[in-house]
Amino acid sequence: MRTAILGVLGAQGCGKTALVRALTGEETDRLPEEQERGLSIEVGFVVLELADGSRVSVADLPGHEKYSRHLIAGLAKATVVLLVIAADQGVMPQSREHLAICRMLGIRQGCMVITGIDQVEPELLAMVVDETRDLARGSFLQEAPVFPLSTVNGDGVNPLRAWLASLSLARAEAKGAGSFRMPVDRLFTLPDGGLVVTGAVLAGQVRQGDSLLLYPKMLPARVLGIQSHHRKLEAAAEGSRAAVNLQGLDETMVERGDVLATPGCLAPSHVLDVDFSLLASHPEPFRNRTAVRVHLGAAELAGHIVLLATDELPPGCRAAAQLFLEEPAMAWPGDHFLVRSFSPPLILGGGVVYNGVAHRRKRQVPADIFIHYRRGNAEEVAVCHVRESGFQGLTMPGLAQRMGISEKRARKLLEASLSNRQVFLIGGGSQQLIARDTVEAMKKRCVQLLASFHDECPEREGLSVEELRRRVYGGMDPMLMRLILDELAKSGSTQTIQEAISLSPGRPLSDRVHEWLRHELTGFYHDSALAPPSFREVKIRFPRQGPEILRTLLDSLVEAGVLRKVSEELYFHHEALDALRDRLVQHLREHGKIDMQESKVLTGMTRRLLVPVLEYFDATGVTERQDDNTRKPRAGRQSSEDVRRAGLAREDVINHQ
């Protein structure tokens, strides 16, 4: 059975404790100091049994502003409130502040109670009732009833009781699914030495025997027993108050504000993404980076608020912001927080946590995720979280933590994005979620890295997968690198040659690589003299450059007179070919002609090379082929200068074909 929490709040001394006593018969001011001073210090929790048989946890909240921390902690998970106003005081500034606190904490149901009607004349009471209705105008209490009553003679108490019973507050079965979270608002040691912590169950449920973790101290504890208002329970679920008897901890290890939770569901963080609202009643705008006290769960933390898109927030307005806290907080999306100034300790505003594990954001840059946070678009928020995790990626449990949901739900939210490849789930054991945008950025980085690598080390074919992975991002999962390389290869950006990754041919060469390649080709042809490589072999020797670039370069070397082009497949270094030509010319001078066999002996070349070389000499005017396949010198074209020119002329023809 779910036990709803009912908060009773109002200005100091307005009669809250007396009202709770009248409703429940229980005394909540139990501390000697409270009884001595006649005011409440701690939150008094008692149970109210209603006519329908349901049990409601009543939180009698202290009115003194010095104890507003207790008031805020006591309102955690309250679903309904009684706003109490004393008939002889009327509406007080604190009444307004308390109403604003309820609004900030997301409370949506309640009524107003006017106490002490036995003390005032009917005319005054009528005025206070009007004043009370005015106060409620525009708030969640606008349509709520007002119950004038006396706790002294009991007049008017029953209608309030009947109204509470009509709300069926505790009827709904608790969901209790998902991780358990309970901020500790009180702790004590039992006579037998056992530790008991109490609080409102914010989410999930706690069962006897559960293994839990105390955050942020990360201390493990086991649940020995659970009680709610002196009743022993098997389990306590979201929305109820629980007293949990723990094994493994003692009073010195726990503080108010710590959170008892399912291991792994929280990640303490100093930075939170939030939606922050400034009270409309605040006299001046809220300035960026103002130091504040933040009430979150049962904790009160010092910190400051960074307004992300503005320098000042006018009263009554809300803004995307980040909370920077001096101590780590343990918050989930949807948790409400309140903000107080340091001195005077006034409530400034509050809001809702969007992400309890945020990273520092740049100001003035509108982050997409805030738009989706505000719209409550969980799928988009999930994708944004993955996107924001960048190269590092996010695990499914990490995403679940950020969103305050189960891993199963996180997986479901990403289903569509995973199937249309906007998000990838990579790796073996601890799988990482990586966004498409990140993969694209990594691909771009790979291309840039390869381009500069080729530039720096033109003699190397490329980088190994491992070298490239480390250069892009050392922590990158090798399987992500695989995916990136597959995509790059598919789009034709890169190629793999003998396990070296390089950029695909066809990109314009940088001056440096161009120079290097010219030098390499020249040396290659020079060294191979009369046994030059075929163009096919050159392509194999320089596989990264691609045929077009190699052809252009070879032809430019021909143009410069460094190489001679004998055929499409054959180029020679000019020194080797010119020397050969001179020897041939000499032979022809001496013998008048030369046949194939003699050419072979003279040149030492194979027939495969010799035939195109002789044809080249025919075409460049050195020789003339006879019908019997012998060659004679070509008349009048025998000076080496002439031949060179003729050679060039023929090469021009070839080049321009």
Q: Which residues bind ligand GTP (CB under 6 A)?
A: 10, 12-18, 39-40, 62-64, 115-116, 118-119, 150-152
Interaction partner, residue 116 (Mg ion, ligand GTP, none; CB < 5-8 Å by kind): ligand GTP
Interaction partner, residue 245 (ligand GTP, Mg ion, none; CB < 5-8 Å by kind): none
Q: Scan residues 38-67 and list those touching Mg ion (CB under 5 A).
A: 40
Binding mask 4-43 for Mg ion (x = CB under 5 A): ------------xx----------------------x---
Cβ atoms within 10 A of the Cβ of 14, count? 26
Task: Report the SS3 class of residue 10.
Answer: strand
Interaction partner, residue 181 (ligand GTP, Mg ion, none; CB < 5-8 Å by kind): none
Shortest Å distance, C-beta 9 to ligand GTP: 9
Percent composition of the chain: helix, strand, coil (DSSP 3-state, to 5): 35, 25, 35
Shortest Å distance, C-beta 40 to ligand GTP: 3
Nearer to Mg ion by C-beta: 31 or 601?
Answer: 31
**DSSP codes of every residue in 331-358:** --TT-EEEEE-SSS--EEEEEEEEESS-
Are 257 and 215 in contact by the 8 Å Cβ rule? The answer is no
Nearer to ligand GTP by C-beta: 79 or 115?
Answer: 115
User: Of 65, 72, 83, 102, nearest to 15 (Cα)?
Assistant: 83
DSSP letter for 175, please: -
Shortest Å distance, C-beta 249 to Mg ion: 31
Shortest Å distance, C-beta 129 to ligand GTP: 15
Nearer to ligand GTP by C-beta: 100 or 588?
Answer: 100
φ/ψ (deg, to 5) at 166 = -70, -15
Interaction partner, residue 18 (ligand GTP, Mg ion, none; CB < 5-8 Å by kind): ligand GTP
Interaction partner, residue 347 (Mg ion, ligand GTP, none; CB < 5-8 Å by kind): none
Nearer to Mg ion by C-beta: 11 or 413?
Answer: 11
Nearer to Mg ion by C-beta: 17 or 495?
Answer: 17
Interaction partner, residue 333 (Mg ion, ligand GTP, none; CB < 5-8 Å by kind): none
Distance CA 201, CA 226 (A): 12
Shortest Å distance, C-beta 123 to ligand GTP: 18
User: Of 175, 95, 209, 180, nearest to 141 (Cα)?
Assistant: 95
Interaction partner, residue 64 (ligand GTP, Mg ion, none; CB < 5-8 Å by kind): ligand GTP
Nearer to ligand GTP by C-beta: 88 or 618?
Answer: 88
Interaction partner, residue 303 (ligand GTP, Mg ion, none; CB < 5-8 Å by kind): none
Shortest Å distance, C-beta 27 to Mg ion: 10
Q: Which residues contact 141 (CB under 8 A, 6 or more apart)?
A: 83, 99, 110, 111, 112
Nearer to ligand GTP by C-beta: 128 or 517?
Answer: 128
Distance CA 273, CA 297 (A): 16
Q: Where are the beta strands (DSSP E) in 229-345?
A: 231-233, 235-237, 241-247, 259-261, 269-278, 286-287, 291-296, 299-307, 312-313, 318-329, 336-340
Interaction partner, residue 647 (ligand GTP, Mg ion, none; CB < 5-8 Å by kind): none
Total of chain residues touching Mg ion, rule CB under 5 A? 3
Interaction partner, residue 179 (ligand GTP, Mg ion, none; CB < 5-8 Å by kind): none
Q: Which residues contact 281 (CB under 8 A, 6 or more apart)?
A: 96, 100, 315
Nearer to Mg ion by C-beta: 71 or 212?
Answer: 71
Cβ atoms within 10 A of the Cβ of 137, count? 8
Are 10 and 97 in contact by the 8 Å Cβ rule? The answer is no
Nearer to ligand GTP by C-beta: 39 or 367?
Answer: 39
Question: What element of type H or E holds 9?
Answer: strand 5-10
User: Of 64, 97, 58, 52, nearest to 81 (Cα)?
Assistant: 58
Task: Output the six-digit token pair for 599.
Answer: 């050419």
Distance CA 165, CA 56 (A): 10
Nearer to ligand GTP by C-beta: 152 or 654?
Answer: 152
Are 262 and 214 in contact by the 8 Å Cβ rule? The answer is no
Nearer to ligand GTP by C-beta: 58 or 196?
Answer: 58
Q: Which residues contact 647 (CB under 8 A, 6 or more apart)?
A: 564, 616, 620
Interaction partner, residue 494 (Mg ion, ligand GTP, none; CB < 5-8 Å by kind): none
User: Of 621, 624, 620, 595, nearest to 610 (Cα)?
Assistant: 595
Interaction partner, residue 355 (Mg ion, ligand GTP, none; CB < 5-8 Å by kind): none
Shortest Å distance, C-beta 344 to Mg ion: 22
Task: Report the SS3 class of residue 328.
Answer: strand
Binding mask 507-526 for Mg ion (x = CB under 5 A): --------------------
Shortest Å distance, C-beta 10 to ligand GTP: 6
Nearer to Mg ion by C-beta: 84 or 435?
Answer: 84
Distance CA 28, CA 21 (A): 7
Nearer to ligand GTP by C-beta: 120 or 576?
Answer: 120
Shortest Å distance, C-beta 231 to Mg ion: 24
Interaction partner, residue 150 (Mg ion, ligand GTP, none; CB < 5-8 Å by kind): ligand GTP
Shortest Å distance, C-beta 80 to ligand GTP: 18
Nearer to ligand GTP by C-beta: 123 or 628?
Answer: 123
Shortest Å distance, C-beta 33 to ligand GTP: 11
Q: In 419-440, which positions are buried (b, 16+ CB within 10 angstroms) versus exposed (e)?
A: eeebbbebbeeebbbbbbebbe
Which single residue brings its beta carbon nearest to ligand GTP?
Answer: 63
482 CA to centre of own chain? 23
Interaction partner, residue 240 (Mg ion, ligand GTP, none; CB < 5-8 Å by kind): none
Which residues are paired to 167 by β-bridges? none
Nearer to Mg ion by C-beta: 86 or 117?
Answer: 86
Question: What element of type H or E holds 219?
Answer: strand 219-228
Interaction partner, residue 14 (ligand GTP, Mg ion, none; CB < 5-8 Å by kind): ligand GTP
Task: Report the SS3 class of residue 280.
Answer: coil
Shortest Å distance, C-beta 18 to Mg ion: 8
Q: Is 94 in the site for Mg ion (CB under 5 A)?
A: no
Binding site for Mg ion (CB under 5 A): 16-17, 40
